[in-house]
């Protein structure tokens, strides 16, 4: 399929939307039975081949794509020092049109899910797609009543040199810490220093299939103003792990009192910023194991299996509380099937 101009692309997407509305639901049923890795692989293949119809079936309603590229970054820097170094496309139709107009067909070099070692979440997952042209697509997928869908895409198209430095844990943690503190300290203005102006944030309660809601930066600021206006939560949980990183982008999993966020960060002219956030409240099906948990925050000082004192390397999170064990084996046994021990 050749590259479309803007008018032809818009007409083609409009036709696809009409066809999708008239479909008998077979595609949705098929996607409902598709696991997150297969869905990410199918999306990567459709994007590589610029298959608009397949992309439209796999994108969540209201999906968002951010594209970072050298030309975009240079234009932004020339226009204003604080301008973002990427462009945003909102809505499935706009994203499909962007892929249709993108250019030559490429191959998918690799596709992997991120963060399984920290706990497989029931409602969301992040994925990394490496393309043959050197670009990286970060995907955030959500699970709803119609199966897995792609909620957010961040295209890192920058061709960084082989010796380009990667972001350090300290750099990424500092940004995520500001994000958490904006809510815990009820200081919404702090968000401006850690997220982009056109932030894409989406989340849902784990117990309701259709409770997802998008949130703009302005709405996040309003929430930060009132969420903990009566005082900081105690304990003020904050734990995170870097799931993957590139010279110009990274993915971090964050645990806080409200639940779990997968955050996609991008390096802008103003430094590292959170561009996309997909979050869920605490699940009951799994525990989440992240580095840096504080033994002092554990609900008990002894292992629930052995009665021995808990160890600093044997902590996990369950429904927002730190649970300690005497060794990693006990921890992992609980983390895999916590419902069996309730």
| 231 is a domain residue | yes
What residue ranges in 13-58 does DSSP mark as E strands?
none
Tens digit of each residue's pLDDT (9 = 90 or more) over 55-83:
999 999 999 999 875 444 444 444 444 44
Nearest of 105, 151, 98 to residue 127 by alpha carbon: 151
Task: Tell me the CATH number at 272.
Answer: 3.10.450.50
Residue 119 maps to a domain? yes
Residue 50: pLDDT above 80?
yes
Instruction: Give the count of beta carbons closer than 10 Å to the beta carbon of residue 63.
Output: 26
pLDDT of residue 163: 87
What's the pLDDT score for residue 85? 58
Q: pLDDT tens digits for 283-332?
A: 888 899 999 899 999 999 999 999 999 999 999 999 999 999 999 999 99
The pLDDT of residue 146: 85
Q: How confident is the model at residue 340 (pLDDT cuts 50, 70, 90)?
A: confident
140 and 191 part of one domain: no
pLDDT confidence of residue 14: 37
Any domain includes 285: no
Residue 73 lies in a domain: yes
- As for how many domains the chain has, the answer is 3
Do residue 215 and residue 336 come from a single domain? no
Q: Helix, strand or coil for residue 129?
A: strand
Per-residue pLDDT reduced to its tens digit, 16-45: 333 333 334 444 344 556 799 999 999 999
Domain-embedded: residue 286: no
Q: What is the mean pLDDT of residues 77-90?
A: 60
Residues 312 and 201 in one domain: no
Predicted local distance difference test score (pLDDT) of residue 7: 39
Task: Clarify whether residues 137 and 185 are in a common domain.
Answer: no
Question: pLDDT at residue 194 above 90?
Answer: yes
Q: Which residues pair with 267 in a beta bridge?
A: 272
Of 156, 182, 197, the one marking the end of a domain is: 156
Residue-level pLDDT at 157 = 84
The per-residue pLDDT for range 213-247, each reduced to its tens digit, is: 899 999 999 999 999 999 999 989 999 999 999 99
Does 52 or 86 have the greater pLDDT score?
A: 52
User: Do residues 252 and 302 both lie within one domain?
Assistant: no
Both 212 and 88 in one domain: the answer is no
Q: Quick check: 87 pLDDT over 90?
A: no
314 in the same domain as 274: no
Q: What pLDDT is recorded for position 207?
A: 64
Tens of pLDDT, residue by residue over 102-156, are 766 678 999 999 999 998 888 899 999 999 888 899 999 999 888 999 999 999 9
Secondary structure (DSSP) of 170-213: HHHHHHHHHHHHHHHTT-GGGGGGTEEEEEEEEEE-TT-TT--E
Decide: 275 and 261 in contact? Cβ < 8 Å: no
Residues 40 and 145 in one domain: yes
In a domain, 16, yes or no: yes
Q: Could you tell me the residue range of the domain that residue 255 belongs to?
A: 169-280
Asked if omega into 235 is within 30° of 0 (cis), the reply is: yes
pLDDT of residue 210: 62
62 and 194 assigned to the same domain? no
Choose the final residue of a domain: 116, 134, 156: 156
Q: pLDDT value at position 134?
A: 87
- Residues 44 and 152 both lie in one domain: yes
Indicate whether 262 belongs to any domain: yes
- The strand pairing partners of 195, in sequence order, are 274
Query: What's the rounded Cα separation, in Å, for the pair 123 and 113?
Result: 14
């Amino acid at each position: 399929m050749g590259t479309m101009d803007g008018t032809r692309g818009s007409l083609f997407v409009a036709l696809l939307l009409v066809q999708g509305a008239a479909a008998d639901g077979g595609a949705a049923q098929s996607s409902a039975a598709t696991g997150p890795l297969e869905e990410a692989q199918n999306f990567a293949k459709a994007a590589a081949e610029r298959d608009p119809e397949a992309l439209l079936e796999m994108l969540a309603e209201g999906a968002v794509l951010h594209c970072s590229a050298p030309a975009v970054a240079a234009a932004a820097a020339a226009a204003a020092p604080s301008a973002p170094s990427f462009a945003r496309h909102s809505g499935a139709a706009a994203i499909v049109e962007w892929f249709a107009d993108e250019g030559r067909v490429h191959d998918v070099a690799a596709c992997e899910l991120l963060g399984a070692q920290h706990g497989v979440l029931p409602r969301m997952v992040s994925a990394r797609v490496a393309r043959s042209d050197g670009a990286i697509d970060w995907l955030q997928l959500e699970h709803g009543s119609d199966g897995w869908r792609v909620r957010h895409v961040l295209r890192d198209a920058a061709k960084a040199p082989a010796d380009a430095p990667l972001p350090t844990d300290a750099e990424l943690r500092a940004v995520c810490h500001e994000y958490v503190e904006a809510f815990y300290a009820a200081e919404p203005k702090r968000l401006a220093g850690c997220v982009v102006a056109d932030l894409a944030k989406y989340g849902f309660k784990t117990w309701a299939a259709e409770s997802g809601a998008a949130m703009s930066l302005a709405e996040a600021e309003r929430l930060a103003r009132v969420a903990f206006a009566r005082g900081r939560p105690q304990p003020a949980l904050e734990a995170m792990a870097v799931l993957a990183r590139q010279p110009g982008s990274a993915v971090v999993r964050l645990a806080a009192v409200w639940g779990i966020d997968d955050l996609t960060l991008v390096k802008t002219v103003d430094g590292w910023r959170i561009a996309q956030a997909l979050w869920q409240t605490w699940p009951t099906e799994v525990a989440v194991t992240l580095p840096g948990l504080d033994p002092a925050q554990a609900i008990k000082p002894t292992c629930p299996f052995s009665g021995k004192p808990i160890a600093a390397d044997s902590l996990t999170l369950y429904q927002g509380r730190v649970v300690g064990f005497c060794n990693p084996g006990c921890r992992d046994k609980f983390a895999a099937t916590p419902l069996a021990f309730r």
